[in-house]
Amino acid sequence: MVRAAAKKTVTPDEKEWIKRVCAAESLGDLRQIMGAESEHEAYFMAKRRWRKLHEEGLDELFHSGALPGVSVEVAKQEFIVHGITHANTSEERDLLHTVVEEFLDAGEAVYCEQGLWSMYFRDYPDVCESDDYLWAVRLCKDNPDSSPTVAQFSEPLVNGFETIREVREQLREAAFSLIDSGSEVYGDRFARAVGDIASDLLMSHEQFATAESYRAFELSKEAATDPSKLQALQAYYWAAFLPQPLEREWLRRHDHELECMTHARNERIADYGVYHSDADIVHVIVGAAHLPGVCYYLNQHQTGERSLDGFAYVDE
């Protein structure tokens, strides 16, 4: 089971609400829970309340140590999921090399999201890399729902970008960088307030589902060069995401391919570790945004709601 946060006082009504949301299997279910006029409204209402109930008192959730993470028991194994920035910085690399050597020397297993091995662990052959990226590519090909392209819009192409989404993403990144640079003049509180406004204006429906806000940008930037701040980044994502079935349905409706390449990979990373490792303690290193989802699917293995029937490796 996922270790629960203990410091924040949650009322019985709030606990019941969280339980109902966790049991919801669709946005239709969520609409009924929220008493909303539409599933769109229900999603945003639930996100706000979920964050409010989860963003405080998380210290006891995280596994202690230089590299924080969340512990999930699956049968007789302990999986510890560690979220990082994967910004390819020397500071993050040094931390990972130090802790991974300690894990391996202690006889513990280390797994990582696909792509992280070549970035950080080339000198560590005992670190196992998942096949989640290749799996997600195959999932996209097997379910070829098309994402919106520029041909579906009346606006002209800008600077050779192929989709309206790419234009919006460039604008969002530029705005966040400008706000961040201004924090030295106006202070972090001002920058954060302006960043929240920019997030509301510039984030698409897909980006709300992947939590690409100014706060995520800010925390990731800080943690990339100061790994002591990784726990704050992990806590942000822990409070940002509703349970996986809801986030995945929302994102799938707006961008099927993005859903495959983000939230869907969480289930594969979890399945891969459970299938492949028999170590008593298994460390799973992923981008911080994957942490809540990987824990969700590990917990499903623990409760028996998920199985490995039909699991097969993907190597091409």
Query: Average pLDDT of 12-41?
Result: 95
pLDDT of residue 122 exceeding 50: yes
Contacts of 9 (CB under 8 A, 6+ apart): none
Output the average pLDDT for the chain: 80
- The pLDDT value recorded for residue 32 is 97
Instruction: Classify residue 140: in a domain, yes or no.
Output: yes
- Domain annotation covers residue 192: no
In a domain, 213, yes or no: no
Range of the domain at 251: 12-147+229-303
The dihedral of CA 91, 94, 100, 105: what is its sign?
A: negative
So what's the pLDDT on residue 137? Answer: 85
Question: How far from the centroid of its chain's Cα atoms is residue 293's Cα?
Answer: 6
Return d(Cα 43, Cα 29) in angstroms, integer.
11
Q: What is the model's pLDDT at position 60? A: 77
Asked, for residue 314, whether it belongs to a domain, the answer is: no
- In this predicted structure, the answer to whether residue 135 has a pLDDT above a threshold of 50 is yes
Percentage above 70 pLDDT, the chain: 74
Dihedral angle, C-alpha 276, 298, 140, 23, nearest 10 °? 160
- Which burial class, exposed, middle or buried, applies to 2 when counting CB atoms under 10 A from its CB (0-12, 13-18, 19+)? middle
Neighbours of 232 (CB within 10 A): 16
Dihedral angle over CA of 159, 89, 244, 71, nearest 10: 180
- Tell me the pLDDT tens digit for each residue of 160-199: 334 434 444 544 454 445 434 544 444 454 444 433 433 4
pLDDT for res 212: 55
Indicate whether 200 belongs to any domain.
no
Specify the number of domains making up the chain.
1
H/E element, 109: strand 109-112
In a domain, 208, yes or no: no
Residue 59 has what pLDDT? Answer: 67
The more confident residue out of 63 and 271 is 271
pLDDT category of residue 255 using cuts at 50, 70 and 90: confident
Average pLDDT of 117-136?
94
- Which of 27-41, 132-146, 166-180 has the least mean pLDDT? 166-180
- For the segment 262-290, what is each residue's pLDDT rounded down to a tens digit? 889 999 999 999 999 999 999 999 999 99
Percent of the chain at pLDDT > 90 equals 56
pLDDT of residue 138: 87
Q: Could you tell me if residue 286 is inside a domain?
A: yes
Average pLDDT, integer, range 124-132: 96
Q: Residue 259 domain-assigned?
A: yes
> What per-residue confidence (pLDDT) applies to 57?
63
Task: Report the SS3 class of residue 69.
Answer: strand
